[in-house]
Structures are given as C-alpha cells and as structure tokens.
C-alpha cells in the first residue's frame, strides 16, 4: 500500500481514500498507524471537535441533521462521527443514526461515518481518536461526534472532544437524580429537545438553577436552550450558542489546554498498549513452571523483556 499516494488523494479531496484510511486506523492496521505518524504535521491543528451526547432516543441524530445545514454553510469541511454500541455478546452492531440524517446528502462538504464502539464496554473504541485524527489530516474544520450517553461513553466523549453538548428531553425532569450523576459535569451546552411536548420549561429552569449553583464564581456557565428538532424550532439559536461557546473556549485557551491533555493521555495509552502487547508475547513463550509464584515469573519476565517498538507490535496483531 502506498500511503503517500493516499495522502495525495486526500489533497484532491477524495472521500473514497478518506473512507478507506478510516477503516485501516479503525482496525489498527499497520498502514493506518504509519499514515497517522507520517502525516501528523499535515493535520488541521485548529479543527474543533464537538461532542453531542445524551440518553438513547432524545433526538441527537435528528438535531445533528438540522445543525449540519449551518455547519455546511459556514465551514469548508465538516465531518460527523456517530458512535453506536457493539453487542458484548455477538460483537455485532446496528448503526442506525443515518436513519434520521437525510440532510447530509444535500452537501458535498460533509462526510459522515458510523462507528461501532467495539471492545470497550459502553465507551468509545480506542480507535475513535485515530479516526478523528484522520479526519483532521483531511482538513475537517469541524468534527461532530455523536455518542449515546450511557455510562462510560459520556466521559469518553468529553476526553476526545473539545466541547460537549448534552441533549435531554422534557421527560428528563422526572429523573432529576440521574441528571445529577455525571451528566451535569460534562456539558458545555445543555439542550432540551422535543420542546414541542409538555414540560420543557420546567427542565430548562431546573438545569439553569443547578448549573448556577454548581458553577458559582466561575467565568463560564453552560447555556441551556430548549429546541425542537422536529419543528426546527430554535435551531439557529442553538447554532449561535455553539459558536459563542466555541469562540470563548478558543479565546480562553481552553481548547488548547484540552488538546495538550488529550495528547498526553494518548501517549500513555499507546505506551500501555506496547507494554501489554510485549508482555503478552513473553507470556506466550513462557514455560508455566508449576512451582514458581506469579511474582517470581513477573520478575523474570521484567528482567529480560524487550519492549518492541510499535511497528512490530502492530504487526503481531
């Protein structure tokens, strides 16, 4: 495979090549890793990654379907990554977010990719970061990342993105306890969707007052907006809020700080991968001496272990 050639096709805006490169990094293929290394400096360093999360069925995809019109008109290239869980039993995954996203076909400067969360229980697959990097090398201005907010994935989305939109519905007011746990901490913008139904004002008020309490003394309090993706209500207003928060975060250096933290975490993850894979190779070759304790075996391995550089590790698969 000729990764130089693929990069040349990136510069000609060839989506076929983009898509195939995403598959390679998603599968942790050595060529994919090589590509990320070789063209790291070619990425768009000012891409803004926006997470959109919330409980199942609150209308995240429907909302994105509306918002993409604004993004497509205001930026030269926008990408959407929609993550859905894989079944822990079969490994299969039903990726249904496109069902609600008919507007994406109206614009040529949009690229949408569905991703299965794979191994990581409920969270984002470890390759999600790599996929986002490929999209940055393709010079996306904005990357929108949809994840279903159950458990780990809402924390993960905060780590891989620069700002997070939390989507709720009027009925979320009934499970206010659940809101308190975690979800209040991760949102930079709160959206109450389905405001065409009863009760959204109450949830907006509740969110506003508890955010005010939590963020007392801080110079940023997340805005709360009620919208209806179905009726197209307040979508433009939401878009303006997104731009405001984004610009505020850029000005205050918040996004730069997040990027730098993220990079450190990624280095740590890669090192951990290298260590674990090297250890696994040693373990495979280890004779299982019945009378040696696990500690002694570990010490023996530690003394002679030869940590492989990443290329060899990825090839071992």
Partner 1 sequence: MERRIKVLVAKPGLDGHDRGAKVVASALTDAGMEVIYTGLHQTPEKIVRTAIEEDVDAIGLSILSGAHMTIFPKVLKLLKDNKREDILLFGGGIIPKEDMIELEKMGVGKLFGPGSSTKEVVDYLKNWFQNKK
Ligand X SMILES: Nc1nc2c(ncn2[C@@H]2O[C@H](COP(=O)(O)OP(=O)(O)OP(=O)(O)O)[C@@H](O)[C@H]2O)c(=O)[nH]1
Q: Which residues of the chain form contacts with Mg ion (CB under 5 A)?
A: 60-61, 97
Half-sphere exposure of 214 (CA within 13 A, CB side): 18
In the list partner 1, Mg ion, ligand X, none, the entry touching 28 (Cβ below 5 to 8 angstroms by class) is partner 1
Could you say which of 57, 91, 151, 182 contacts partner 1 (CB under 8 A)?
91
Distance CA 91, CA 104 (A): 28
| φ and ψ of 164, to 5 deg | -125, 130
- CA distance linking residue 248 with residue 133, whole number of Å: 23
> CB under 5 to 8 A by kind: which of partner 1, ligand X, Mg ion, none does 98 bind?
partner 1
Residue 153 in the binding site for ligand X (CB under 6 A): no
- The CA R_g of the chain, rounded to the nearest whole Å, is 22
Give the separation between CA 133 and CA 115, rounded to whole angstroms.
14
Interacting residue with partner 1 among 98, 233, 262, 300 (CB under 8 A): 98
Residues that contact ligand X, how many (by CB under 6 A): 17
Inter-axis angle of helices 235-251 and 60-74, to 10 degrees? 70
Q: Which is nearer to ligand X, 6 or 204 (CB)?
A: 204
**Interaction between residue 12 and partner 1 (CB under 8 A):** no
Exposure b/e, 91-120, CB count within 10 A at least 16 = b:
eebeeebeebbeebeeeeebbbbbbbbbeb
What would the two tokens of residue 303 be?
Answer: 């003394």
11-19, 33-41, 67-75, 163-171 -> range binding partner 1 (CB under 8 A): 11-19
In angstroms, rounded to a whole number, what is the distance separating the alpha carbons of residues 56 and 147? 9
Contact pick of 94, 121, 221, 261 for partner 1 (by CB under 8 A):
94
Nearest to 169 by CA among 59, 270, 273: 59
Q: Does 8 bind partner 1 (CB under 8 A)?
A: no
What is the total count of residues that contact partner 1 (CB under 8 A)? 26
- Note whether 293 binds partner 1 by CB under 8 A: no
Residue 228 interacting with ligand X (CB under 6 A): yes
- Selected binder of ligand X within 193, 200, 226, 278 (CB under 6 A): 193
Contact residues for partner 1 (CB under 8 A)?
15-16, 19-20, 22-23, 27-28, 86-87, 90-96, 98-99, 105, 111-114, 116, 317
């Amino acid at each position: 495979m000729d990764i130089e050639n693929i990069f040349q096709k990136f510069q000609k805006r060839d989506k076929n090549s983009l898509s195939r490169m995403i598959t390679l990094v998603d599968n942790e293929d050595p060529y994919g890793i090589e590509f990320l290394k070789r063209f790291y400096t070619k990425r768009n360093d000012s891409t803004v990654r926006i997470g959109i999360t919330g409980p199942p069925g609150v209308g995240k995809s429907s909302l994105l379907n509306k918002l993409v019109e604004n993004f497509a008109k205001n930026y030269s290239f926008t990408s959407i990554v929609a993550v859905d869980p894989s079944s822990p039993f079969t490994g299969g995954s039903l990726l249904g977010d496109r069902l609600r996203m008919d507007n994406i076909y109206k614009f040529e400067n949009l690229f949408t990719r569905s991703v299965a969360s794979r191994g990581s229980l409920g969270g984002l697959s470890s390759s999600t970061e790599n996929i986002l990097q490929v999209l940055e090398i393709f010079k996306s201005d904005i990357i929108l990342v949809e994840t279903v907010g159950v458990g780990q994935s809402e924390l993960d989305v905060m780590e891989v993105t620069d700002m997070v939109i939390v989507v709720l519905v009027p009925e979320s007011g009934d499970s206010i306890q659940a809101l308190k746990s975690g979800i209040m901490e991760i949102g930079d913008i709160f959206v109450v969707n389905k405001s065409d139904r009863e009760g959204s004002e109450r949830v907006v008020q509740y969110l506003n007052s508890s955010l005010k309490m939590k963020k007392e003394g801080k110079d940023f309090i997340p805005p709360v907006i009620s919208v209806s993706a179905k009726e197209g209500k307040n979508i433009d207003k939401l878009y303006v809020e997104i731009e405001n928060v984004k610009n505020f975060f850029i000005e205050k250096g918040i996004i730069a700080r997040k990027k730098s933290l993220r990079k450190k975490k990624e280095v740590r993850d890669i090192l951990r991968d290298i260590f674990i894979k090297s250890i696994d190779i040693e373990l495979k070759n280890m004779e299982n001496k019945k009378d040696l304790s696990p500690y002694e075996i570990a010490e023996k391995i530690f003394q002679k272990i030869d940590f492989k550089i990443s290329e060899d590790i990825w090839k071992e698969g």
